[in-house]
Amino acid sequence: MEPVVVQKVQEAINQRANQDVYIHLETTNGAYASHNDETFFSSGAYIRNALVRYELGKITGDGPYRVGLKIELGWVYAEGITHFEIDEQNRLLMAGHDFKGKLAVALEISNTPFE
């Protein structure tokens, strides 16, 4: 993955608009967060292969970035995006990594289901 280049990510988001796409969205602070620090409130959420169609998608912010997709009846949203990649299957992979290189958030858009 490489650091976000807003224009490239925005183009990739635009190319995938108005068609059926599969979404992977996750946010996490790790299963060990509360074990390592008992005062830490651990939380996360995850959805894989949600089939949606967005009419509008945007990347905003000064970095880390936010990405929002406006879908027919609602929204998909991720905050803390630092890196992106268009992989060999032409999927748009976006992720936010903390300073130690640990994944904190991921938003991925694919025309075919994720494995």
Partner 1 sequence: MEKERHVLVVFPHPDDEAFGVSGTIATHIKNGTPVTYACLTLGEMGRNMGNPPFTNRENLPKIRKKELQAAADLLGIQDLRMMGLRDKTVEFEDDDKMTDMISFMIQELNPSLIITFYPGYSVHPDHEATGAAVIRAVEKMPAESRPKLHCVAFSNNCVEELGEADIINNIAPVADIKISVIKAHRSQTEQMFADITEEDTKTNPRIMAWINNERFWTYKFK
Work out whether 99 is an interface residue with partner 1 (CB under 8 A).
yes
Query: CB neighbours of 18 closer than 8 A, spacing ≥ 6?
Result: 53, 54, 55
Question: What is the x/- site pattern for partner 1, positions 31-70, by CB under 8 A?
Answer: xx--x--x-------x------------------------
* Stretch touching partner 1 by CB under 8 A, among 15-23, 55-63, 66-74, 107-115: 107-115
Q: State phi, psi for 13 to the nearest 5 degrees.
A: -65, -45
Which SS3 state, helix, strand or coil, does residue 8 take?
A: helix
Residue 23 to residues 39, 55, 105, Cα–Cα distance (Å): 32, 14, 13
Residues of this chain that bind partner 1 (CB under 8 A): 1, 24, 26, 28, 30-32, 35, 38, 46, 83, 85, 87, 91, 93, 95, 97, 99-104, 106, 108, 114-115
